[in-house]
Amino acid sequence: MKIEFFDTPELLAQTVASSIIDFVIAKPNAVLCMASGDTPRLTNKYIVEAAKKNRIDFSRVQFVSLDEWVGIPPSNTGSCYYFLNETIFEPLNIPTTNIHFFNSTAGNLSVECERINQIVEDLNGIDIILVGIGMNGHIGFNEPGVSPDLFAHVINLDPITLQTGQKYFSETAAIQKGITLGISRIMQSPLAILLATGSKKAAIIKKTLEENISNAVPASFIRKHANAFVMLDREAASLLNK
Ligand code: PGA
């Protein structure tokens, strides 16, 4: 794992966007897994701008879902799908056949997990996984206490996720569980990128990078990844030992 520091969230987002664009130029049928949330919004904006300006062809890129709120349909503006559709899929005209998202309203979520696991296997894995970090150290919906041995799974959301998660919804949402790719899948991807910006992430970034690697802070497992980058703006890095 490497840590990279940026003066501003804009510089961070520009760098991540350029890396993704360069990857897609080199591998037009890349398989990407991108987080939703406030943190990647700027990165996604720069990806779309650069792709349009330079006419980068995203039509063969495959997108795999990182996570979704159980029971929340894609039409809900707070869903992970809605965010990615609004910031990436629609602006880049991604064919629906290239979007492999958790159906979190499926009757049998174990079958749904197996469906996504199989899709990832059929695609020969995910080339780049881009994650944010929750206030409790979750990545995807790998909540504190999660087993690092899991692939796609359903999990009870941690109280902090239940609380902070409401910010994405226009009306109070009945959320309780999440469906997510597991730590094992993140560890298997050849490149994992964790983004954190803002002073509110400083304390959890310090725990992630300076305390023991354990499921108490699931993001800490990324330190075991041979090719992971933790990209921090100045504020998110502000509590780290220099
Ligand atoms: P945020 O969410 O980018 O909205 O802060 C991050 C996360 O919970 O993974």
Per-residue pLDDT tens over the stretch 23-46: 999 999 999 999 999 999 999 999
**Ligand 1 mutation target, pool 34, 80, 133, most atoms within 8 A of CB:** 133
With 90 as the cut, is the pLDDT of residue 212 above it? yes
| Distance from residue 131's CA to the centre of ligand 1 (Å) | 8
pLDDT of 242 above 80: no
Q: How far is the CA of 109 from the centre of ligand 1 (A)?
A: 23
User: Residue 84 C-alpha to ligand 1 middle, in angstroms?
Assistant: 13
pLDDT score of 80: 98
For residue 166 and ligand 1, the question of a CB distance below 6 A is answered with: no
> 37: Cβ below 6 Å to ligand 1?
yes
Q: Which residues of 52-71 are buried (b: 16+ CB within 10 A; e: fewer)?
A: eeeebebeebbbbbbbbbbe
138 labelled catalytic: yes
Which of ligand 1's atoms lies nearest the C-alpha of 138?
9
For the chain, the straight-line distance linking the first and the last C-alpha, in angstroms and rounded, comes to 17
* Mean pLDDT (whole number) for 217-231: 98
Look at residue 136 and tell me whether its pLDDT is greater than 80.
Answer: yes
Mean model confidence pLDDT for the chain: 98
Q: What is the pLDDT of residue 83?
A: 98
134 in contact with ligand 1, CB cutoff 6 A: yes
Reply yes or no on whether 136 is catalytic: yes
- The token pair at 65 is 């879902």
- Residue 131: what pLDDT? 98
Taking the CA atoms of residue 44, residue 45, residue 49 and residue 51 in that order, the dihedral angle to the nearest 10 degrees is 10
Ligand 1: atom nearest CA of 195 is 3
User: pLDDT digits over 137-160, tens only?
Assistant: 999 999 999 999 999 999 999 999
Beta strands 153-156 and 2-6 are unpaired
Q: Are 39 and 197 in contact (CB under 8 A)?
A: yes
Q: Residue 224 has what pLDDT?
A: 98
Q: What is the mean pLDDT of residues 15-20?
A: 98
Residue 97 has pLDDT above 90, yes or no: yes
